[in-house]
Amino acid sequence: MNSEADMVETSSGISVREAGRRGGTATRDRHGIGFYRQIGARGGETTKKRWGHLFSQMGKKGGRRRRPNLENTVGDEVPSNEGG
């Protein structure tokens, strides 16, 4: 994935992508992998506090529309590949 933002060089002469990679590696080395688990858990708890009351409603609405199974089709209808 090469966007124009990746190709832009920083003042030190490296690409934005390379600068981001180096920063992420430095953070991983400094804090360890467990750090990412902790901040992920914090984010999950915050999301639950803010939107948890809506989780039940979202679950009832369901996810994406499913493609029909061959056993569930009506008549000569052929299932499409749209909607993944």
The pLDDT assigned to 2 comes to: 62
Q: Tell me the pLDDT tens digit for each residue of 32-55.
A: 999 999 999 999 999 999 999 988
Mean pLDDT of the chain: 80
Q: How far apart are CA 47 and CA 44, in angstroms?
A: 5
Closest CA to 84 of 64, 62, 59, 61: 64
Greatest alpha-carbon pair distance for the chain in Å reads 65
Quote the pTM value: 0.46
The pLDDT assigned to 65 comes to: 66
The token duo for 36 is 């990412």
